[in-house]
């Protein structure tokens, strides 16, 4: 939810086992998420419109395998998500999707959740964290954690979403 200063206040929304968190509700959930939230905030998020060129892969070298970059393809009054880059760690769980539309994933629940999270990012222009049970049937004790961070074009429109994904043991 936006306050009067266009800053996102902390919020947690649950859809069954799926949770969507914003603002300070993100902090302290996961070491990797905390790293990326700190980086994102240091670069100016949510007040500065961080662009792809503001992101230096060397700064996040230890987490490159956990990253996904989605292109937001705007058309008329709709939008779609295309996978620009997917790290090996993420591809191990969700498949190799580089160059594909997110809707080509085999797991329809994952597609829905990715679109819900990205819709929130587009609406708030701020970072969003999602947590849900991992989708690998042989690994039911796992939890998928994903931090979605907007990247903007020169006109301050979200053109990409940088995502870090971690699969952890449920607490």
* Per-residue pLDDT tens digits for 111-155: 988 999 999 999 999 999 998 876 555 555 678 899 999 999 988
**Tokens, residue 119:** 């819709």
pTM of the model as a whole: 0.85
Q: What pLDDT, on the 0 to 100 scale, is given for residue 70? A: 97
> By the 8 A CB rule, do 82 and 100 touch?
yes
Q: What pLDDT, on the 0 to 100 scale, is given for residue 171? A: 56
Q: How far apart are CA 163 and CA 130, in angstroms?
A: 10
- Residue 28 CB: number of other CB atoms within 10 A? 10
68-87 mean pLDDT: 93
Q: What pLDDT, on the 0 to 100 scale, is given for residue 7? A: 41
Domain 11-169: homologous superfamily in CATH:
PAS domain (3.30.450.20)
Q: What pLDDT, on the 0 to 100 scale, is given for residue 97? A: 93
* Per-residue pLDDT tens digits for 89-98: 999 888 899 9
β-bridge partners, 148:
128, 163
* Per-residue pLDDT tens digits for 2-33: 433 334 445 666 555 678 888 888 998 889 99
Q: Could you state, in order of their start, the residue ranges of all structural domains in the chain?
A: 11-169
């Amino acid at each position: 939810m936006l306050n009067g200063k266009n800053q996102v206040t902390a919020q947690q929304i649950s859809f069954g086992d799926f949770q969507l968190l914003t603002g300070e509700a993100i902090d302290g959930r996961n070491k990797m998420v905390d790293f990326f939230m700190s980086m994102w905030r240091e670069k100016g998020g949510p007040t500065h419109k961080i662009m792809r060129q503001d992101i230096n892969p060397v700064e996040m070298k230890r987490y490159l395998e956990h990253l996904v970059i989605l292109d937001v393809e705007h058309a008329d009054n709709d939008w779609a998500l295309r996978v620009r880059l997917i790290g090996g760690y993420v591809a191990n769980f969700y498949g190799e999707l580089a160059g594909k539309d997110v809707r080509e994933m085999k797991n329809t629940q994952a597609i829905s959740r990715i679109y819900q999270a990205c819709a929130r990012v587009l609406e708030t222009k701020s970072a969003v964290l999602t947590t849900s049970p991992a989708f690998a049937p042989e690994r039911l004790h796992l939890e998928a954690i994903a931090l979605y961070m907007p990247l903007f074009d020169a006109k301050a429109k979200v053109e990409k979403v940088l995502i870090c994904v971690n699969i952890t043991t449920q607490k």
